[in-house]
Chains A and B, each alone.
Chain A
Amino acid sequence: MLKIMQSFNKDSVIDFPAYVAQTIGGSILSFLQSIGALAAFIGKATAKSFSPPFYPRLIMKQFIDIGYYSLPVVGMTALFTGMVLALQSYTGFTRFNAEGAIAGVVALSVTRELAPVLAGLMVAGRVGASIAAEIGTMRVTEQIDALITLSVNPFKYLIAPRVIAGTLMLPILVLMGDIIGIYGGYIVSIYNLDFSSGTYIAQTWDILEKMDVLSGLIKAAVFGFIVSMMGCYHGFNSGRGAQGVGTATTYAVVSASILILISNYILTQVFFS
């Protein structure tokens, strides 16, 4: 710090307070600028997703890439989350003689929170990163410019299929995650904690309402939109070279994960207050 101040005194062109103000102001301005750029990008990408020409074959390919190939990851996450949830609730709830609530806790936690959020985060790592890397590489190697010179709009050809597939596939993944997660809790309760199978299933059905599952699926659609959009945005605006693509991938995953957690809170507030 002292060194910086000394160097400014020597130059005496700009003084130290002005330098601080400039730095703060500059970073605030560039922050606002990037928010504006992101908003414009999202607006454009959304508009292009709803206007022809559509590319059904590319959308199908993304359905498979984003949906089908994410199944193992999401399934494993849901299974073990449901299992550990049952185990943890058991050790906690026996202290209050409330073992009967385990089925309900597992069902509600999985459908409302854990399946959508964890699936969203896993897909952000798997799909968001690969979208950003692929589109980023296309940017760096001028393939996106090549698309434009061949009269193809990259928003429609590259971005719309991914955003459409991300938004539609994540709810389906989460629905499967719900089933697998509850089943995980069931396995632990029946085979490890010696619950009666019939009672456990009945308790699950009793407590679960349509809105619990539905709210989770709506969250999933929002998270899917966030993940694919962040992947596309950072890939599309990737810097030069291998380093640019690497940074784009990191930003895509980090920003998607943070936005998922923030929007999860906001959506929960909207649904259940």
Chain B
Amino acid sequence: MSTKTPKIEMKDVRKAFGEKCVLNGIDLTVNKGESLVIIGGSGTGKSVTLKCVLGLMKPDSGSIMIDGVETTTMNQKERDALMGKFGMLFQGGALFDSMKVWENIAFGLIQGKKMNADEAHDIALEKLRQVGLAQQTGNLFPAELSGGMQKRVSLARAIATNPEIIFFDEPTTGLDPIMADVINDLISECVKDLGATALTITHDMSSARKIADHVAMIYEGQMIWDGPVGQLYDSKNSYVEQFIHGRADGPISKHS
């Protein structure tokens, strides 16, 4: 296990916005085929961590390796090529509202991988089926769908290019508990089917329990705990205890 190159490896990653230091030396390792869930409160740096790995933000210092290759010093071309390995499910879905559902799902195939439209259309419908939506949905516009359906379509778009690494940004936020569970099931299913590595950020504990192999907790820009999901409720860490049980009192201040 230790001889294998980790899929994602972050070392001492720091990022500040003006005076405000958001990431204060993040260390993180995700092995191939593993699903890591990062938990933490709002404003603790979860999203920024994710965006740094994705390359949407550039860290001030530190190293981020994907498959053992340093990404922080990459030029645009290498970065574009790297993006082909990634799939991302955005918190708000981020579906292109000017395009039909199937065009959204096929977008990465047609524009990114230069596949012809007919072939991409077939794959899009197959992915729609995989996330439990009817074929006819493909001809609707995102605005005509409910929140849960939009999440499914976003998931279909994220997995359409068969990515090696999939990122999930608060996948269950804004959904009712039942729909949230459905999406969690779909996520674990899709990740297993693809054999992909998954990195999820969430503050929804039932989601974390369901999706994760490993869990890491971020607080004030640092990883304060990580371990297998089985140990999460036996962590002996007062920060983790407070967070997973959702207590107002504890070491985590109420103001952040």
CA distance A157 to B55 in the complex (A): 18
Chain A contacts for B86, CB-based, 8 A: 149
A98 CB-CB contact with B under 8 Å: no
Contact string against A for B residues 67-87, beta-carbon threshold 8 Å, 1 for contact and 0 otherwise = 000000000100010011011
State which residues 141-166 of B face A: CB under 8 Å: 157, 161
Q: Please state if A149 and B87 are interface contacts (CB–CB under 8 Å).
A: yes
State which residues 72-109 of B face A: CB under 8 Å: 76, 80, 83-84, 86-88, 90-92, 94-97, 107-108
Q: Most chain-B Cβ atoms within 10 A of its Cβ — which of A146, A150, A151?
A: A150
Chain B residue with minimal CB distance to A134?
B98
Interface on B for A, CB 8 Å cutoff?
A: 51, 54-56, 76, 80, 83-84, 86-88, 90-92, 94-97, 107-108, 111-113, 157, 161, 167
State which residues 135-192 of A face B: CB under 8 Å: 141-143, 145-146, 148-153, 157
13 pairs of residues in contact across A and B, judged by CB atoms under 8 Å: A142-B92, A143-B95, A143-B96, A146-B96, A148-B54, A148-B55, A149-B83, A149-B86, A150-B112, A151-B112, A151-B113, A152-B112, A157-B111
Chain A contacts for B107, CB-based, 8 A: 150, 152
Chain B contacts for A152, CB-based, 8 A: 107, 111-112
List 3 tightest A-B contacts by C-beta distance, closest first: A151-B112, A150-B108, A142-B94
Known: A145-B54, A150-B157, A150-B161; 8 extra A-B contacts, CB below 8 A, are A141-B92, A142-B91, A146-B90, A150-B107, A150-B112, A151-B83, A151-B108, A152-B107
Q: Please state if B111 and A148 are interface contacts (CB–CB under 8 Å).
A: no
Number of interface residues of A (CB under 8 A): 12
Q: Please state if A151 and B80 are interface contacts (CB–CB under 8 Å).
A: yes
Q: With A145-B56, A157-B111 as given contacts, are A151 and B94 in contact (CB-CB < 8 Å)? A: no
Chain B contacts for A142, CB-based, 8 A: 90-92, 94
The smallest C-beta distance from A30 to any residue of chain B, in angstroms, reads 11
Chain B contacts for A143, CB-based, 8 A: 94-97
CA distance A267 to B18 in the complex (A): 39
Q: Please state if A151 and B84 are interface contacts (CB–CB under 8 Å).
A: yes
CA distance A146 to B90 in the complex (A): 8
Chain A contacts for B83, CB-based, 8 A: 148-151
The smallest C-beta distance from A226 to any residue of chain B, in angstroms, reads 25
CA distance A145 to B158 in the complex (A): 13
The smallest C-beta distance from B48 to any residue of chain A, in angstroms, reads 13
The smallest C-beta distance from B4 to any residue of chain A, in angstroms, reads 26
CA distance A181 to B107 in the complex (A): 44
The smallest C-beta distance from B58 to any residue of chain A, in angstroms, reads 13
The smallest C-beta distance from A43 to any residue of chain B, in angstroms, reads 14
Q: Please state if B108 and A145 are interface contacts (CB–CB under 8 Å).
A: no
The smallest C-beta distance from A53 to any residue of chain B, in angstroms, reads 9
Chain B contacts for A153, CB-based, 8 A: 76, 80
Contact string against B for A residues 117-143, beta-carbon threshold 8 Å, 1 for contact and 0 otherwise = 000000000000000000000000111
CA distance A151 to B157 in the complex (A): 13
The smallest C-beta distance from A144 to any residue of chain B, in angstroms, reads 9
Chain A contacts for B167, CB-based, 8 A: 149
The smallest C-beta distance from B28 to any residue of chain A, in angstroms, reads 19
Chain A contacts for B80, CB-based, 8 A: 151, 153
Q: Please state if B88 and A146 are interface contacts (CB–CB under 8 Å).
A: yes
The smallest C-beta distance from B93 to any residue of chain A, in angstroms, reads 8
